[in-house]
C-alpha cells in the first residue's frame, strides 16, 4: 500500500468515527433531562435536608448543572456527586446526581430556583423546589415555659410522639438576650424529662450546630447524664445539663443561636405492662429499664433562641482597638537597669472578665531613646462562674538607643465595659530605667537585602552578605523538520492513540473521584488551597471597596476554612487556641503559630471597630494571610 492510499484509509476511518460521534450526540441531546428535589421538603429550624439535582441522558459525558443560589441556607456538606450508567438493548443511559446538605434557622417557605444545564447551546431548566421550615411548639409544655418556643420531640411512632408532647424537651438558656457585639454570652442546653419516663440511652444529634456568627468556647459536655428533680408548676421533671458553651457575637442585629438536638432511647411498654409507662414507680430512675430491651429512638430538638446583638456606641475613642470586657491594664519591665547592649522586654498586661483572647495590642506612644522590635502575645484563660476571664500579655522587645535615665511613657488603652455600657480609658504608669554604655559594636547583618535604616547609637552598620543573580539562558536554535509524509510523523501517530489515552484518563478520573468520595478528609485537603484562593479574592474585593468589616470577615473565614479543610475540622466554632494547638501538634514553627494567631485575632477584633483599620493595614494583613496559606500548603 502506498503512502497516499494509507492516508486515504486513515481519513475515511476518522470521518466515520466523527459521524458516529455526532449522531450519538444528537440522539443524546434530544433525551437529556434535569430534575431537582429536596428530601425532606418539610423540616424544623436547624434540621438538615438534602437538595439534589439529577441529570439523565444517553451518554456518559453528561453536562454539569449550574446550581441556583442557596444564600438563604447554611451549607453543611457538598456538593457531592454520584453517577451510574447502564446498557439496555444496546443503548447507553447515564445519570449524574449532585446533592448538597442544607439547613435553615428561620421558619418560613423558601423557594429554590431551577438548576440549569446547557446542551448544544440550548438551556434546559429543572423544576423549582419549595422547602418549608416549620416551628412546631409543644402543645402541653408547662405554663411557666410557654413563651420559650420549645419544639416538640419527633419519633417514627405517632402515638409515642403524642404521648411525649410536653413531657420530654431540650431547653436553651442564655445569660443575656441583648449583649453588645464582642460581649460573651453563656448558653446552656438542659434536658427535661417528666419523672417516670424510661430513658435507656442518649446521644447528641447530627449535625451539630456550627455557630457561624459567633466565636465559641466549650465549658461543659456531658458524657453521662446526671439528673436532679425540679418542680415546674405542678409537675415534677428530671433535668440534666447536656452542654454549656460561651458564645461571643461577631455581628450586630438579630442573631439566631443554632439549635442542637439529642437522640433519646425510650423503652416502649410491652403487652404485659400497662399501656402508659407514665407514673409507674418502677421507672422512677431516669434510666429505669435494666434489661436492655429495644429502645424507641426519639429526636429532641432544643428551643429556638434569638439574640438582639447591640452595636458599640459612637463616637469611639481614638485608641480603641475593639476590646470588650471589664479589665485592668498595667505595664512592667523585666529589669530595673540595663546597658545599651541589652534587649528589654516591656510587658503590657490586660486582665479581667471577658473574652480576653480577643484583646488586641495597645498602641504604643513614641518611644524616645528605644528601638521597638517584635511583639509576642500570651493568653491565660479561665472560666469563673461560667463566664470567661483571664489575662493577656503583650511582650514588646526594646533596645536602648542611648545611655542615661530613660523613661517609658504611660500607655493608654481604651476598652468598652458592657456592664457600665460605656468606654473606659485605662493607663499604665510611666517606667524609669537607668541605661549604661555598652561595649558591643557588632554590625546588624541582613542576608540578601540592604535596609535603609542603620543601627543608631552603637556605631553598627547594616551589611549585605548575599545577592542572587539569575542569568538569562539563550534558547536553542530552532530546526526545520524533514519532508516525511504526514502518517509517518510521530505527532500524527500519537493522535491515533488519543482514544486509548482518553479511556485511561476516564478510568483514572473515576478511581480518583471514588477515592475522594470515600475519604472526606482527603477531598477537603485537596480543595483547601483553591477554596482559600476564592475566599481571598472576595477579601481583596472588599479591600478595594474599602469595606473593612467585610474584608476582615472574609479574611478570617478564609484562614479558618483553609485550616479546617487541611485538618478535616469544621471551620465555624474552631477557636484560635484550638487551631494553634493543632498547628503545634503538627510541628509548625512558633513563628507560624504566632502569625496565624495574630491574623485571626486581628480579623475577629477588627469587626468590632472597623473604622480604626486603614487601607494600608488591611493590605498588610491580606499579604500576611496569603503567605501563611501559601507556605503551609507547600509544606504538606
pLDDT computed for residue 471 by the predictor: 47
Distance, CA of 506 to CA of 399 (rounded, Å) = 63
Report the pLDDT averaged over residues 22-28. Answer: 48
251: three-class secondary structure by DSSP: coil
Instruction: Calculate the dihedral angle through the C-alpha atoms of 499, 500, 502, 507, rounding to the nearest 10 degrees.
Output: 140
The third-level CATH classification (topology) of the domain covering 320-436 is: Immunoglobulin-like (2.60.40)
Distance, CA of 394 to CA of 331 (rounded, Å) = 9
Give CA angle at 259 (253, 262), nearest 5°: 165
Distance, CA of 165 to CA of 150 (rounded, Å) = 10
Query: Does the structure show a pLDDT above 60 at 29?
Result: no
Name which of 108, 137, 307 is nearest 211 in CA terms: 307
Among 28-37, 184-193, 306-315, the range scoring the smallest mean pLDDT is: 28-37
Neighbour-count burial of 392, counting CB atoms closer than 10 A to its CB (0-12 exposed, 13-18 middle, 19+ buried):
buried
In contact, 527 and 515? CB cutoff 8 Å:
no
CA–CA distance from 104 to each of 208, 260, 361, 415 (Å)? 13, 13, 38, 36
pLDDT tens digits, one per residue of 42-80: 887 767 788 888 887 765 567 778 888 887 887 877 778
Beta strands per DSSP E along 430-490:
431-436, 444-446, 462-464
The answer to whether domain 32-133 has CATH 3.30.360.10 is no
Do β-strands 33-39 and 49-57 pair in parallel, antiparallel, or remain unpaired?
antiparallel
CA–CA distance from 584 to each of 51, 66, 275, 521, 592 (Å)? 38, 41, 58, 20, 9
User: At 18, is the pLDDT very low, low, confident or very high (cuts 50, 70, 90)?
Assistant: low
User: At 121, is the pLDDT very low, low, confident or very high (cuts 50, 70, 90)?
Assistant: confident
My answer on whether omega of the bond before 79 falls inside 30° of 0, hence cis, is: yes
Report the pLDDT averaged over residues 433-437. Answer: 89
pLDDT tens digits, one per residue of 566-575: 877 766 556 7
CA–CA distance from 41 to each of 112, 128, 261, 362, 554 (Å)? 11, 12, 19, 52, 31
Distance, CA of 290 to CA of 226 (rounded, Å) = 17
In contact, 263 and 301? CB cutoff 8 Å:
no
512 vs 32 pLDDT, higher one: 32
The answer to whether domain 525-635 has CATH 1.10.540 is no
Residues facing 459 on adjacent strands: none
pLDDT computed for residue 282 by the predictor: 39
Among 310-314, 315-319, 485-489, the range scoring the smallest mean pLDDT is: 485-489
Report the pLDDT averaged over residues 191-208. Answer: 78
User: At 438, is the pLDDT very low, low, confident or very high (cuts 50, 70, 90)?
Assistant: confident
Report the pLDDT averaged over residues 594-618. Answer: 73
444 vs 51 pLDDT, higher one: 51
HEC states along 70-104? CCCCEEEEEEEEEEEEEEECCEEEEEEEEEEEEEC
462 vs 536 pLDDT, higher one: 536
Query: Does the structure show a pLDDT above 80 at 330?
Result: yes
CA–CA distance from 296 to each of 267, 274, 505, 506 (Å)? 6, 17, 49, 47
Query: Does the structure show a pLDDT above 50 at 555?
Result: yes
Query: Does the structure show a pLDDT above 70 at 379?
Result: yes
Query: Does the structure show a pLDDT above 70 at 514?
Result: no
CB atoms within 10 A of CB 424: 15
DSSP 576: H
pLDDT computed for residue 54 by the predictor: 84
Distance, CA of 468 to CA of 474 (rounded, Å) = 19
Q: What is the pTM of this model?
A: 0.55
pLDDT computed for residue 8 by the predictor: 62
Percentage of the chain exceeding pLDDT 70: 72
Amino acid at each position: 500500500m502506498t503512502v497516499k492510499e494509507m492516508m486515504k484509509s486513515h481519513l475515511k476511518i476518522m470521518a466515520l468515527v466523527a459521524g458516529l460521534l455526532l449522531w450519538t450526540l444528537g440522539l443524546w441531546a434530544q433525551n437529556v433531562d434535569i430534575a431537582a428535589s429536596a428530601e425532606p421538603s418539610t423540616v424544623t429550624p436547624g434540621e438538615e435536608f438534602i437538595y439534589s439535582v439529577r441529570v439523565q441522558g444517553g451518554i456518559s459525558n453528561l453536562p454539569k448543572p449550574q446550581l441556583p443560589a442557596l444564600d438563604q441556607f447554611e451549607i453543611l456538606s457538598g456538593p457531592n456527586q454520584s453517577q451510574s450508567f447502564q446498557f439496555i438493548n444496546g443503548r447507553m443511559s447515564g445519570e449524574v446526581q449532585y446533592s448538597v446538605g442544607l439547613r435553615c434557622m428561620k421558619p418560613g417557605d423558601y423557594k429554590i430556583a431551577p438548576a440549569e444545564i446547557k446542551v448544544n447551546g440550548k438551556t434546559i431548566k429543572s423544576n423549582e423546589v419549595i422547602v418549608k421550615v416549620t416551628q412546631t411548639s409543644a402543645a402541653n409544655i408547662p405554663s411557666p415555659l410557654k413563651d420559650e418556643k420549645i419544639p416538640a420531640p419527633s419519633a417514627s411512632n405517632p402515638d409515642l410522639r403524642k404521648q411525649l408532647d410536653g413531657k420530654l424537651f431540650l431547653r436553651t438558656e442564655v445569660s443575656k438576650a441583648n449583649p453588645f457585639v464582642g460581649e460573651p454570652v453563656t448558653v446552656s442546653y438542659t434536658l427535661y424529662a417528666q419523672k417516670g419516663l424510661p430513658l435507656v440511652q442518649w446521644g447528641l444529634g447530627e449535625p451539630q450546630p456550627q455557630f457561624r456568627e459567633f466565636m465559641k468556647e466549650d465549658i461543659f459536655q456531658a458524657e453521662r447524664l446526671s439528673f436532679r428533680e425540679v418542680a415546674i408548676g405542678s409537675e415534677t421533671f428530671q433535668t440534666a445539663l447536656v452542654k454549656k458553651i460561651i458564645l461571643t457575637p461577631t455581628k450586630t442585629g438579630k442573631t439566631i443561636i443554632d439549635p442542637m438536638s439529642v437522640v433519646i432511647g425510650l423503652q416502649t411498654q410491652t403487652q404485659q405492662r400497662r399501656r402508659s409507662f407514665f407514673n409507674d414507680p418502677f421507672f422512677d430512675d431516669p434510666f429505669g429499664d435494666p434489661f436492655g430491651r429495644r429502645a424507641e429512638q426519639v429526636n429532641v430538638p432544643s428551643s429556638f433562641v434569638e439574640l438582639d446583638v447591640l452595636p458599640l456606641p459612637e463616637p469611639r475613642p481614638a485608641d480603641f482597638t475593639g476590646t470588650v470586657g471589664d479589665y485592668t491594664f498595667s505595664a512592667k519591665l523585666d529589669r530595673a537597669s540595663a546597658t545599651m547592649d541589652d534587649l528589654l522586654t516591656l510587658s503590657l498586661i490586660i486582665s479581667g472578665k471577658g473574652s480576653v483572647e480577643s484583646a488586641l495590642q495597645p498602641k504604643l506612644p513614641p518611644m524616645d531613646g528605644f528601638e521597638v522590635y517584635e511583639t509576642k502575645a500570651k493568653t491565660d484563660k479561665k472560666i469563673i462562674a461560667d463566664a470567661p476571664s483571664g489575662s493577656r500579655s503583650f511582650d514588646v522587645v526594646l533596645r536602648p538607643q542611648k545611655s542615661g535615665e530613660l523613661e517609658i511613657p504611660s500607655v493608654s488603652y481604651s476598652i468598652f465595659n458592657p456592664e457600665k455600657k460605656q468606654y473606659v480609658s485605662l493607663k499604665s504608669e510611666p517606667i524609669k530605667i537607668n541605661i549604661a554604655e555598652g561595649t558591643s559594636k557588632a554590625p546588624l547583618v541582613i542576608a540578601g537585602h540592604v535596609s535603609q535604616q542603620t543601627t543608631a547609637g552603637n556605631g553598627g552598620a547594616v551589611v549585605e552578605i548575599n545577592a542572587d543573580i539569575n542569568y538569562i539562558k539563550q534558547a536553542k536554535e530552532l530546526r526545520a523538520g524533514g519532508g516525511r509524509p504526514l502518517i509517518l510523523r510521530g505527532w500524527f501517530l500519537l493522535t491515533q492513540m488519543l482514544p486509548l489515552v482518553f479511556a485511561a484518563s476516564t478510568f483514572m478520573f473515576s478511581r480518583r473521584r471514588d477515592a475522594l468520595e470515600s475519604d472526606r478528609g482527603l477531598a477537603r485537603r485537596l480543595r483547601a488551597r483553591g477554596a482559600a484562593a476564592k475566599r481571598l479574592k472576595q477579601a481583596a474585593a472588599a479591600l478595594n471597596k474599602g469595606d473593612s468589616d467585610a474584608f476582615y470577615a472574609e479574611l478570617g473565614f478564609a484562614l479558618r476554612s483553609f485550616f479546617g479543610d487541611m485538618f478535616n475540622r469544621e471551620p465555624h466554632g474552631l477557636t484560635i487556641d484550638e487551631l494553634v494547638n493543632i498547628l503545634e501538634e503538627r510541628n509548625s514553627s512558633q513563628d507560624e503559630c504566632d502569625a496565624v494567631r495574630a491574623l485571626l485575632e486581628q480579623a475577629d477584633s477588627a469587626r468590632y471597630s472597623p473604622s480604626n483599620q486603614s487601607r494600608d493595614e488591611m493590605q498588610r494583613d491580606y499579604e500576611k494571610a496569603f503567605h501563611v496559606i501559601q507556605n503551609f500548603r507547600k509544606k504538606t
